[in-house]
Amino acid sequence: MAKKLQSIRGIHDGLPSEVSKWRKIEDVARQVFATHAVSEVRLPILEPTELFIRSVGEETDIVSKEMYAFEDQGGDNICLRPEGTAGAVRAYLQAGLTRAGAQRWFYMGPMFRRERPQKGRLRQFQQIGVEWFGVAGPVADAEMLAMAQRFLDTLGIEKVRLEINSLGCSACRPAYRDTLIAYLNARAESLCDTCNDRIEKNPMRVLDCKNDTCQAQLIDAPEMVAHVCGDCDMHFSGLKAGLDALAVRYDVNPRIVRGLDYYNRTAFEFVTDQLGAQGTVLAGGRYDGLVESLGGPATTAVGFAAGMERLAMLMPDMDTHVVDVVVVSLGDDALPYSLQVAKQLREQGIAVVHAGGGAAKRQFKLADREGARFVAVVGDDEMQQSLVAFKNLATGEQKTCTLEQAIDSLKC
Ligand code: ATP
Ligand code: MG
């Protein structure tokens, strides 16, 4: 026997039971986001590698070790996008929209990161992302979070809590960074290798280390929220007041840092205890400096992304039942009529499988296996009278009736 090929590790197939959840997530996203006047964009999966180096940041895990980047046949450095925000900013600039007023966008699609595959951590995964450009105040952050909360609520995802933090800005972060580096250097020997690597490059990421020994050293680490400047403080207070007004519950978690460099001020995560270490289902924040650093004018912006596979894991299994009726045809003469019956039912939007004619036993077995709600049996008698023998497989009820009557009973 030929060897079976497997998919790449950490890249999995969306089979019907999971795709039905993804579709629900997409439908709810479209419906909820539309009430905030957010429009869908569809952006490329391949982008120039440089885009992520300049935005996400060279010292981040994503750029330093997780990108699927390569030189193509023409010698261009391209990569499979690891996230959506950078591409959205590029598109916004490329389309010349910086003077067009606020832009509110969302997208959904695959992202690629060469991470260590585990539950909830894939190498190809899907994100639903939202990016708002040209929205300055904390009201926008609060409204975005209320929208995210409603999105999760409408999906029936419970037991998710919102945590928020302030990451400061270019005015207050450098001084805080120095304070933090001094604190970490004093404990460097007790911190893991990864943390040691990060002390100079990305010290705030050390706060995020999952290692218990490191966390024990970080108990008294200085926190950004306690070192923010007046403007950042006002922004954070405004956000909290907005969330209160909108009845969105939150906790301040001074340890939230984002794995990407471009965030400032507001950072947030919706987290759950139900997915082990991969507990963040939706995360984002403000990134006021990114548009400028990619060559545009100073532009305020805020956004988030949610991992669809993680959301799907929190959703109850859905009814993936797809067959309404199996049409069973008895005898060769009735076959053309039975095909017409199937066709007419389908024209009414009913999901039909034709059992293919032939031996009755095989056809009934097929109906059983398809999990159909009804079987429509047609033989010579039914054909002559333009009727069907219609059986409800759940109740066992059976009647011989016209196709219209059968359709009526399907609808109730
Ligand atoms: P984590 O801390 O879990 O690594 P992150 O900070 O890297 O997440 P973001 O880049 O902010 O995550 O992505 C937003 C969301 O996308 C995450 O909250 C998560 O739901 C999802 N996500 C990120 N990476 C993966 C992955 N490798 N597999 C599946 N989902 C992912
Ligand atoms: Mg990550």
Q: What CATH code is carried by the domain that includes residue 276?
A: 3.30.930.10
Mean pLDDT of the region 195-218: 90
- CA-to-CA separations, 376 to 262, 341, 381, 398, 409, in angstroms, rounded: 60, 9, 13, 10, 12
Structure tokens at 1: 């026997």
Whether residue 333 sits in one domain with residue 268: no
Domain boundary among 262, 283, 314: 314
Identify which ligand lies nearest to the alpha carbon of 285: 1
pLDDT at res. 32: 98
Mean pLDDT of the region 162-172: 95
Domain boundary among 280, 295, 314: 314
Number of domains in the chain: 2
Helical segments of 118-258, H only: 138-154, 173-185, 193-201, 203-206, 212-217, 230-245
Residue 300 has pLDDT above 90, yes or no: yes
CA 61 to ligand 2 center in whole angstroms: 7
Whether residue 391 sits in one domain with residue 281: no
Whether residue 259 sits in one domain with residue 302: yes
Ligand 1 within 6 A of 265 CB? no
Examine residue 128 and state whether it is found in any structural domain, yes or no. yes
* Backbone angle region of 197, left / alpha / beta, with phi > 0 → left and psi within -120 to 50 → alpha: alpha
Ligand 1 within 6 A of 261 CB? no
Mean pLDDT of the region 281-295: 95
Domain boundary among 253, 279, 314: 314
CA 83 to ligand 1 center in whole angstroms: 9
State the residue range of the domain holding 355: 325-411
Interacting residues of 92 by C-beta distance below 8 A, sequence separation 6+: 98, 103, 105, 131, 133, 291, 296
Ligand 1 within 6 A of 283 CB? yes
Whether residue 255 sits in one domain with residue 384: no
Structure tokens at 222: 């200085």
For residue 406, give the CATH number of its domain. 3.40.50.800
What is the residue-averaged pLDDT of the chain?
Answer: 94
Lowest mean pLDDT among 71-80, 259-268, 321-330, 352-361: 259-268
pTM: 0.92
SS3 call for 95: coil
Is the Cβ–Cβ distance between 304 and 144 less than 8 Å? yes
Whether residue 22 sits in one domain with residue 147: yes
pLDDT at res. 361: 95
Is the Cβ–Cβ distance between 156 and 316 less than 8 Å? yes
- Closest CA to ligand 1's atom 24: 121
